[in-house]
Amino acid sequence: MREVQDHYFKEAKREGYLSRAAYKLIEIDDRKKVLKRGDRVLDCGAAPGSWLQVAAKRVGPKGVVVGIDIQPITHRFDGLPVRMVASDFTTALPDQLLQLAGDANRKFDVILSDMAPNTSGDPSGDHFRSVRLCEALLDRCPALLRAGGNLVMKVFEGEAYPELLKRTAGMFESAKGFKPKASRSESREMYIVATGLRANE
């Protein structure tokens, strides 16, 4: 498996991606088709910026990708439709994030989240902190994501995962777990890919 990880690390260097995590979103989108040309995208926990790079290339010049992270992102996304804010997504005002995308009255088409809590070495505690981040993201979907919009969010698997997946499935037309090849085999990370936010949300 180490050879596989070295492969993605080398590919990221060769292709100019800021981290190997880019290949997770590439595979998710190749398989699930969550991003479209012209989409408005919110990337939560965007540092160091590899998902911003992938999403911006896929939505094209008529789209826009807003990245939010507590850590400032210093990379310059020259020529790509990327805007950034250093803030905590759980306290950022939806109107401010929508305004960054160019129109406070038009919601995002896609929300991405590769967020993870600072790991403590306690797998159970890390799992529940990860689930809480996802729950906070779902809480904010109605204010940020248009009806019919898509969501991709990372979570650490554990006992609360089935209930999180069930809640997501209740909000979207489809919600399924997916583990990209670029994820480390020993990692407990899973991506919930949800499409078609229900209108009543």
3-class secondary-structure state, position 61:
coil
Report yes or no: 56 and 35 within 8 Å, Cβ to Cβ: no
The domain total for the chain is 1
What's the whole-model pTM score? 0.92
Tell me whether residue 97 is in a domain. Answer: yes
Tell me whether residue 8 is in a domain. Answer: no
List the catalytic residues.
154
Structural tokens at position 31: 């398989």
CA–CA gap between residue 140 and residue 170 (Å, rounded): 15
Asked whether residue 48 carries a pLDDT value surpassing 70, the answer given is yes
Tens-place pLDDT, residues 164-181: 999 999 999 999 999 988
Q: With DSSP H G I counted as helix, E B as strand and the rest as coil, what are the percentages for the chain, rounded to 5?
A: 35, 25, 40
Tell me whether residue 11 is in a domain. Answer: no
Tell me whether residue 135 is in a domain. Answer: yes
Count of residues in the chain:
201
Burial of 129 (0-12, 13-18, 19+ CB in 10 A): middle
Q: What are phi and psi of 71, to 5 degrees?
A: -80, 130
3-class secondary-structure state, position 179:
coil
Tens-place pLDDT, residues 29-45: 999 999 999 999 999 99
CATH of the domain at 40: 3.40.50.150
Asked whether residue 1 carries a pLDDT value surpassing 50, the answer given is no
Which of 14, 76, 16, 63 is closest to 35 using CA atoms?
63
Which of 121, 41, 45 is closest to 82 using CA atoms?
41
Instruction: Quote the domain boundaries for residue 179.
Output: 21-197
Tell me whether residue 132 is in a domain. Answer: yes
Tell me whether residue 13 is in a domain. Answer: no
